[in-house]
Structure 1
Amino acid sequence: MRAERELVAIVAAHSNDVSRHLLRRAKQEHSGIIARSKWLGYAGPLKAIPLRGRRRFEFCRWTLLVAAAPVDRQRKRVFLELTCFGSYLVLKTIRFAFTMKPHRLQLLGLMRNLFEKSSAVLSRCETYRYELRRVWDDSLPPFVSGMLNPSTADADRDDPTITRNIQRARAMGFGSLIVWNLGAGRATQPQAWKLLADPIGPENDRHIRRILQECRDRKGIAIAGWGIPPPAYAFAPFCIDQDKSWSEPWKPFRGMYLPNSAASLAEYHSGLKPNAYYVARAERDRLTIALQEAQAKLQGFRDALEQIRSVQPETGIYFDLKDFEAETNSLLAECSELLDRQNSHRAKLSELIDTRALWTTQIDIAKAALAELDEVFKSAIGHPADVECPTCGEHYTNDIAERFGIAADTEALIGILHQAKEQKDELQKQIDAAQRELGDVETALSRIRAILSTRKNDVSLEEVMAAEGRNAASRVLRERMTEIEGKVGALGARIAELKLAMRKSLDRKRSAAINDFFFSRLTGFSMSLDVRMESFKSGSIANAHLARGSEGPRGLTAYFYAFLHTAKEFGSSTFCPIVIDAPNQQGQDGQHLPAIISFLVKKRPENAQLILGVEDAVGITADDADIVGVGVQKRQLLDDNQFAFVSEHLRPYLAQLVL
């Protein structure tokens, strides 16, 4: 919608009532545009300021944010950036002075781009989002992005993912962003999305076909962005920058959020864990979530069946022999399980009681020993320093050391006594818990035995009707339980197969061959670069133990190239071009710097492309590599006359890597 009219800048109204009236009037005039407007509140006793002249604006959605201004008693100047609503336009940069009272917030409004249209196709319940659209130029082709699950973004607000995609689409020359999802259920996390009752949505397929057809008709580009690792993970071993790589290997980029990234990336790129391992693991994780969901449903049906049994009389009445047989088999199976649990609880209880008896005996022994030591200590104190043996007449010294020895034995026995009492108390708690569990099992057994032992009773019509309703409900629940149990069994078997496939992909002989290859290359490269191998004795394929001083960068160079040769030989991922920046680290001397540059150029993996950034190309000649001089101006790598050619060449690849 385009409108050309006299515009008025509304900073604030004289009162709340006037402000609300203006907002209502704006909504009435443009109900389709700002129907979702929200009330900010009364901003202060300021007046409306009319603007002269007429301007053309494309009206769009109305978005409001709240910001806090500085809190103090001084006069502040605040910049307001508000938007157009109805026939009113709030100026983008209005300055006004005001006195801020302590602990009060100044409410500010904020508007998006006035020339951007937005829309979203939601279900009536707003549980599903089938489409999200942002348009800034209808004449240009659309950028269509397919993702796994939608978040809470809608026609009125964006989330960080949508904001980034809008920025990328604008930068790449598209006129709009259209987002669809594999599943239309709205959730912020894929795990929560998968747990929805219907994560796909009843109308999602139709909307996906419509969006993709529109993309083809308007010659747009469509990409899919779910389950794809960030490019940083693919390029990590091939990029050595001067900021971090020469001090922290495996961290050439910011935002490496992969847990234990060095080990994970090394295992993947070296081939220790091939692609087949990660494919099987991803499928295992997906099926594990499905298994947990099925088990939760199964437990729900079991609880419901148990509730039906608990509210009905113990006597079963059946008009269908199949129902009777199914119910009897179910009760017998439950009875057998309860008997097993009863035996297990009895065995555990017996073991606990025997252990308690042992600790009780130890307590009695410790008490008796303490009593004897007390008598000995008292006797030692009562005797003189020189004690004569009444049997042989030998004299013994009753000194202080002997008395302290008796006291020390007493302290040890007291500690043993306290420990025994604590163990006995803990065992008593376990015995009480085991007895309660055994009582619950015996109660359940008594109920089932009473049902199974029933032969015939006089029943009323009401009991017959209630029993038949119970039987019908139980029948449906058992059928659903049987179906889900089959699904649970199939999922469990498939998960076990995937775990086996993961273990098989981690072949020990292959792993040993990869490690031997890596360390043999590391040894040879270290000797070529004058690096002592003691630095790597405790290292691994995922960890480089650095040497000190100028030897450290040379050791890292040997490590990087040993790994790249290993990835070239055994890896299952794409082998990317190698980019190395500033190998002259830690002040390499005139002998080692040419050796490093020559090594990097001549010892690169076979058929590998190398882009090496150095200040001086020492150690190599034009016969060894193409030497290109760059940096016409400060902080500028690309020449001005090459920009258009390079931009056109890279645009298709940037489009593929946008997510």
Structure 2
Amino acid sequence: MKNLAFKQLVVASDTLKSGNQFEFKPRFNLITADDNSFGKSTLAKLLFWTLGGEPVLDITWTSFDVRCLVDFSVGNETYQAGRYGNIMFLRRPNGQWEKFPKITGAYSEAFAEIVGFEALLPNRNDATKLETPPPAFYFLPFYIDQQRSWSQAWNGFSNLEQYSKWQKTIIEYHTGYLLPEFFTFEEQIAARNVEKKTAEVEVKKIEAAIEVVKTYLPTSSKTVALSKGEFDTLAAEVTEDIAKLQAKQEELLGTIAEIQTERLYLQGQLDLARLASAELEKDYAFSVECVEGEVLLCPLCGTMHDNSSPVRASILADKDEADSQVMKLSEKIERQGSKLAKNQVRLESVRTEIEAITNKYNSLEPSEITDTEAITTKSSILESIASRAVQKHVQRTMETKTALIRTIQSTNKKLKAEQKKLLTKEERKELDATFKDTLFRYIDELKAQGINLSPVKSPLDYKKLYGSGGAAESTRGILAYYMSVIQQAHRAENEAFSAVVIDTPNQQEQADFNYERILKFLMDTVPSNAQLILCAMNRSEIQSYKNAAHVIELDEKKILCDTKYAECRALLSFDDSIASSSSTI
């Protein structure tokens, strides 16, 4: 099994004209300081930020306009990643720098390939589109953030809500309940669902076309009798004259159906744009009138949201964009209405020509009408011919598309059945039992027996750990849960095993003997070939770990240093080194 380990971090701020360089060793590392405000947490977060994660950095730090470079290894190969804003840079072993304009998409796919992270998540707006999630989703079980993770597991990074209901998929993938092959099936199913979605849209259009036929070509109930010979003669003459008009009429009916379908779609988009504009206006009013300061705490999830002037300005920019969409969509709907009216006029013109042809055959004498056969009157014969032709065509198409939808549904059902065979019910129960055994053992080692574990059946039950035991004991329970997940991930081998980064394990002021027990527990529990990076205040209880670790000690100058700017800035020239021959995504 390959491991990911951090080797070096270089950071520089052009705004402050300062920078620094930090090295990390393969096993134990300690980021420490004599004061909580010296930047321990920020230094740890920069490792993930540089690789494309989104840890919560304070507003002051984000104003420094920094760029960073991280050297990291996966197995025996060394890689480099650079970041400036949301622009990502990546260099593989013996390769050239690659530049990516954003974190999602091509960069996320490239990083996932390096670490063997094969999980896929459906796009929030289109469930048939599967995407490789950003690096944050890979790092989630391996990073315990001081502000977010101790109060809510699987919450170490922001912007995770870009995917809906991602928790089950990501947790089960990391812990071995979902194998990489699971997502091969998901891609096959999603590809067929795209085809199914297209067919369903076509069916809706056909239904609209049928309604148009019913509206513009009503069926006549009047019938008269003609002899068979007279009817055959009339039909032969009509066929030649009406063939072109029938084809034109059918084409116009199809065009009208398409226009009406497009208008319905555009109206739906217009309604959404108007709603978005109204909501953004409320958001801006709330951010200006109801929020003090530049930080907003979500009362539901506890997430800290930036409420600075640039963010408020971005809300107004989004509202302007929504208003612009409203205007554009309204204009499109108006143009579609105009097209619809023109095509309806053309259709009436064709029908008038058909009526003229009908009158051409009115020379048939009433005395010649007999009771031998009941058929439609001559005027309705022509309309009926056209109507039945259109209806027959759309009905055939409807049947074809409906059959395709049924076939796709049947195929996907079979794929789902095969997918379920990847992990049997017995194997799932075994994973549950292993996880619970590990969690119980770690709870015992950390002296957190006050935690009620009865409702916890699998790694998915992390929310059930909260609210039991005292504050300090509850914190140790969360640590036991994280380490149980990490052990399960190590056994699953679904990906490269990442460095474990824990920001300040001394939460809720653990009693001295418990803090020492926590540090020893971590040294013994993190897999022996994995990297561990701890952030902790410089105090006597960490001495044993400090003696075994590579130590990064921060002082009042914090992370950035004026005297190291030129040296560090020279190392951060990845954006300048992109040659025209380099791969630009």
TM-score bracket, normalised by the shorter chain, equals 0.3 to 0.5
**Structure showing the higher helix proportion among its residues:** 2
Higher relative contact order (CA 8 A, sep 6+): 2
The two structures have a TM-score, normalised by structure 2, of 0.45
Larger Rg: 1
